């Protein structure tokens, strides 16, 4: 069953009770938005989404927008999917929330079992939280605590990558590597050792078109090996995104990085934490991106698409080996001291369970390959554009790098917000997107159709032309 997109019926009279001018004013008066310069936001017109249906969102006037970034990378099967809505309503008829501290609930139990069955073999213990940053932070604390409980407290350092993004809490920022977001908080963070970004190194060696080379993989793995040889005895874990660095501008890894990192971590007795928050749940064409290289991390962070993009839900999956290190009698104080009020929330777990069932019943992954290829073919033309420096794709995750000058590859000045202007031009044309630095981002829901992909690409090309050919002010 696929949901129909019904722009006309998506609007119902109830929306008329919302006063658009009033809401826009109160939005600017009271609501401090994430990752937003509010002084600029306050003088612009911003979209207020009132409804969604399928791959579309609708504002208060009923204007439709194709959701080309899956509501910030989390929507999976479209908005208001009948089965997800029904699963949520069914659970609401039972209970919205009950604690999982020392107690349990059916959706959380069933979802943990399902995740353990679907995850790479060996990941069989599930710890819930609400957001991706928490899932990563929990993995970091578990890795640290694991070595303490194993009598190896000297293994307390973390290894991370330039351009990494793992979320915005202090622990997640500590293992991040995006200087623009992170430098200001430097004094607040714990130290992590850093390796180059796999894409960054590969591109520096082989250029924007030919970066995906075995020699690039070998060069990066050599850096990792040197680091592990020097400091492996003190390193608790290597933390990395799974196959592509998302927030830094969609920077895919050369083939073999994940498998190579897994082998080196094994050799040096270092845990591997893979952040699948963005890549999980089909976004790269497989359920989890690490499946492309048959890698099983020691800890895997999930979020975003876990609930189909419906509710805040995240999870940290780990192995029996790590789990066992926390076992003991109560007085031995080996337990994991971590939990959140809404851990294992039954509404979120119920909708996540149905999300996974849809993958199976509708053969979502089997049907995805054709659309990923269609997207790839459509993207080829962007390489010719005079203001595009690179086009990057991993599955349905796409970054189009905008340049001021193609011959030098130089970016537009940060303050000019050229990429925002391009995204805004696309939004005006009915395609909702949001850039990352100098990169335009596309990350449509898995339910996107070939026709919708065509429309997104055509709209983006138009927006790109309109903004880059206009005289700069
Ligand atoms: C979005 C993201 C996070 C953070 O998730 P939140 O739910 O925003 O806290 C962590 N890691 C990656 C790779 C992400 O893309």
Check whether residue 441 and residue 334 sit in a common domain: no
pLDDT number for residue 182? 79
CA-CA distances (angstroms) from residue 400 to 132, 277, 443, 450?
Answer: 24, 21, 11, 19
Residues 288 and 379 in one domain: no
- In this structure, the answer to whether residues 337 and 282 fall within a common structural domain is yes
Question: What does each C-alpha distance from 449 to 1, 4, 370 come to in angstroms?
Answer: 14, 11, 10
Q: Which ligand 1 atom sits closest to the C-alpha of 133? A: 9
pLDDT at 240: 98
**51: phi then psi, degrees, rounded to nearest 5:** -150, 165
Q: Which atom of ligand 1 is nearest to the CA of 304?
A: 7
Q: Answer yes or no: is pLDDT of 457 > 50.
A: yes
193-195 and 157-161 strand pairing: parallel
Residue 318 lies in a domain: yes
Q: Quickly state the pLDDT bin for 2 (edges 50, 70, 90).
A: very low
- What tens digit of pLDDT does each residue of 137-154 get? 999 999 999 999 999 999
Residue 238 lies inside a defined structural domain of this protein: yes
Same domain, 264 and 406: no
**Tens digits of residue pLDDT in 71-110:** 999 999 999 999 999 999 999 999 999 999 999 999 999 9
Ligand 1 centre to CA of 166 (Å) is 5
Is the domain of 198 the same as that of 244? yes
Cα–Cα dist 472/246, whole Å = 29
Residue 1, pLDDT above cutoff 60: no
Q: What is the CATH number of the domain that holds 39?
A: 3.90.1150.10
Q: Are residues 239 and 344 in the same domain?
A: yes
| Domain containing residue 60 | 3-80+364-468
3-state secondary structure 409-454: CECCCHHHCHHHHHHHHHHHCCEECCCECCEEEECCCCCCCHHHHH
- Is the pLDDT assigned to residue 425 strictly greater than 70? yes
**Residue 411: how many other CB atoms lie within 10 Å:** 18
Question: Taking the chain, what is the end-to-end CA distance rounded to the nearest angstrom?
Answer: 50
Please state the rounded mean pLDDT for residues 347-363.
Answer: 98
Confidence of residue 15 (pLDDT cuts 50, 70, 90): low
How many A from CA of 352 to the centre of ligand 1?
Answer: 17
pLDDT for 473 equals 57
Tell whether the model's pLDDT for residue 180 goes beyond 90. Answer: no
Q: What are phi and psi of 296, to 5 degrees?
A: -115, 110
pLDDT confidence bin for 6, thresholds 50/70/90: very low
The alpha carbon of 71 and the centre of ligand 1 are apart by a number of angstroms equal to 13
Using DSSP, state whether 298 is helix, strand or coil. Answer: coil
Structural domain count of the chain: 2
Banded pLDDT at 16 (limits 50, 70, 90): low
The mean pLDDT of 181-199, rounded to a whole number, is: 93
Alpha helices per DSSP H over 52-105: 70-73, 82-92
pLDDT digits 0-9 by tens, 218-276: 999 999 999 999 999 999 999 999 999 999 999 999 999 999 999 999 999 999 999 99
Same domain, 172 and 270: yes
The mean pLDDT value for 152-166 works out to: 98
Average pLDDT over residues 372-377: 98
Interstrand relation of 235-241 and 157-161 (parallel, antiparallel or unpaired) = parallel
Is residue 366 classed as helix, strand or coil in its secondary structure?
helix
Over 90: is that where the pLDDT of 5 sits?
no
183 falls in which pLDDT band (50, 70, 90)? confident
Helix (H/G/I), strand (E/B), else coil: 227: helix
Query: d(Cα 319, Cα 123) in Å, to the nearest integer?
Result: 5
Give Cα separations from 228 to 162, 174, 245 (angstroms): 17, 19, 21
Residues 140 and 195 in one domain: yes
User: Looking at the structure, do residues 187 and 270 belong to the same domain, yes or no?
Assistant: yes
Judge whether 275 and 166 are in contact, CB under 8 Å. Answer: yes
Q: Are residues 348 and 411 in the same domain?
A: no
- Of 35, 163, 173, 246, best ligand 1 pocket probe by most atoms within 8 Å of the beta carbon: 246
DSSP β-ladder status, 235-241 and 271-275: parallel
Residue 44 shares a structural domain with residue 137: no
| Domain-embedded: residue 473 | no
């Amino acid at each position: 069953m696929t949901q129909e997109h019904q722009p006309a019926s998506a609007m119902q009279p109830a929306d008329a009770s919302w006063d658009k001018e009033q809401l826009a004013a109160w939005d600017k008066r009271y609501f401090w938005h994430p990752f937003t310069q509010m002084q600029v936001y306050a003088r612009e017109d911003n979209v207020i989404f009132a409804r969604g249906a399928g791959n579309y969102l609708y504002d208060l006037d009923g204007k439709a927008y194709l959701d080309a970034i899956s509501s910030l990378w989390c929507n999976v099967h479209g908005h208001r999917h009948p089965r997800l809505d029904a699963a949520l309503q069914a659970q609401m008829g039972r209970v919205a929330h009950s604690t999982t501290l020392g107690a349990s609930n059916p959706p959380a139990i069933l979802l943990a079992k399902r995740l353990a069955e679907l995850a790479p073999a060996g990941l069989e213990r599930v710890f819930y939280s609400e957001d991706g940053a928490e899932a990563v932070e929990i993995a970091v604390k578990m890795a640290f605590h694991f070595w303490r409980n194993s009598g190896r407290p000297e293994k307390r350092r973390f290894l991370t990558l330039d351009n990494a993004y793992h979320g915005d809490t202090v622990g997640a920022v500590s293992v991040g590597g995006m200087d623009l977001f992170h430098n200001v908080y430097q004094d607040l963070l714990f130290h992590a050792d850093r390796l180059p970004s796999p894409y960054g190194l590969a591109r520096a060696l082989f250029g924007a078109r030919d970066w995906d080379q075995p020699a690039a993989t070998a060069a990066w793995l050599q850096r990792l090996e040197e680091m592990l040889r020097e400091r492996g005895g003190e390193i608790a874990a290597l933390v990395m995104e799974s196959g592509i660095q998302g927030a830094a501008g969609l920077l895919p890894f050369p083939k073999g990085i994940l498998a190579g990192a897994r082998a080196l971590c094994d050799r040096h007795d270092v845990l591997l934490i893979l952040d699948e928050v963005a890549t999980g749940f089909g976004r790269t064409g497989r359920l989890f991106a690490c499946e492309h290289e048959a890698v099983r991390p020691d800890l895997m962070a999930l979020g975003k698409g876990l609930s189909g993009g419906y509710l805040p839900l995240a999870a940290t999956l780990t192995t029996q080996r790590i789990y066992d290190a926390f076992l003991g009698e109560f007085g031995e104080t080996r337990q994991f001291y971590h939990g959140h009020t809404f851990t294992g929330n039954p509404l979120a777990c119920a909708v996540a369970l149905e999300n996974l069932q849809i993958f199976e019943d509708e053969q979502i992954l089997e049907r995805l390959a054709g659309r990923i290829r269609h997207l790839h073919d459509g993207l080829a033309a962007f390489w010719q554009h005079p203001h595009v420096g690179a086009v990057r794709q991993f599955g349905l995750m796409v970054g189009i790098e905008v340049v001021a000058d193609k011959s030098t590859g130089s970016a537009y000045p940060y303050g000019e917000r050229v990429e925002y202007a391009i995204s805004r031009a696309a939004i005006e044309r009915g395609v909702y997107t949001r850039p990352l630095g100098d990169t335009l981002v596309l990350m449509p829901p898995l339910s996107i159709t070939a026709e919708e992909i065509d429309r997104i690409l055509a709209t983006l090309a138009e927006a790109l032309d309109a903004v880059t050919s206009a005289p700069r002010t």
